[in-house]
Homo-oligomer: A and B are copies of this chain.
Amino acid sequence: MPGIKLTYFDGKGRAEAIRYILSYMGKEFEDVRLTRDQWPSIKSTTPYGKVPIIEIDGKVFHQTAAICRYLAVEAGLSGGTPLENIEIDQIVESFEDFVKEFSKIRTADPAEQEKVKQTFITETVPFYFGKFEHGIKNGGYLANGKLSWADLYVVALCEMLAGFLGKADLFEHFPHMKALAEKVRSNSGIKEWIKKRPVTSF
């Protein structure tokens, strides 16, 4: 089956990073959004019981960062050298550490949840965004002073986090992150995607 089919839930979530990159590339893709009812029967057909998965010309791939890194080569969003690639990968993996901290809110004891969330907002966000701000300030982008898939990855996944945290603007106190997000979203393919995508909270 030629073509691209992305499968995820009906939300931005982790899949949004892939959707950003595909849109940046101007690629058409089938955007399958599973309902809760559909998920149990689909789950066992995925490589590791997880989504997003993407089918490209009949071959299935999984793992968000792996998929993005792969698409980035064709998109021209990879580094030009191993040294540029490690700079990108360091950002993406540090951002994943940040997402791991975020996940602790959802797995916390319900009685503790609000406290864990506040710590995340007042300590974890400034710690990671502070590091990112510093990098963007020096080069305009998260890595290597030029646009890469790390920028699309971070901006797209921050949409999910903002949704879950109920914050309209996660970058309120982080002007360089905000400018970066605007730069990423000003790309014509991504701008068009954001305009046409289904409205979801996160």
Q: Which residues of A contact B (CB under 8 A)?
A: 47-50, 61-63, 65-67, 69-70, 73-74, 82-83, 85-86, 89-90, 92-94, 97, 100, 127-128, 131
Give chain B nearest CB distance to A132 CB in angstroms: 11
The chain B residue with its CB closest to the CB of A49 is: B127
Chain A interface, >50% SS class = helix
Q: Provide the residues of chain B in CB contact with A63, threshold 8 Å.
A: 89-90, 93-94
Q: Which 10 A-B pairs have the closest CB atoms?
A: A66-B89, A70-B86, A63-B93, A73-B82, A66-B90, A63-B90, A66-B93, A66-B86, A48-B94, A70-B82
CA distance A97 to B131 in the complex (A): 25
Q: Are A86 and B100 in contact (CB under 8 A)?
A: no
Q: Are B89 and A65 in contact (CB under 8 A)?
A: yes
Q: A48-B97, A66-B92 are in contact. List 20 more A-B contacts (CB 8 A).
A: A47-B90, A47-B94, A48-B94, A48-B128, A49-B127, A61-B90, A62-B90, A63-B89, A63-B90, A63-B93, A63-B94, A65-B89, A66-B89, A69-B85, A69-B86, A69-B89, A70-B83, A70-B86, A70-B89, A74-B82
Known contacts A61-B90, A82-B74; A100/B100 CB under 8 A: yes
Q: Provide the residues of chain B in CB contact with A89, threshold 8 Å.
A: 63, 65-66, 69-70
CA distance A5 to B145 in the complex (A): 27
Q: Provide the residues of chain B in CB contact with A86, threshold 8 Å.
A: 61, 66-67, 69-70
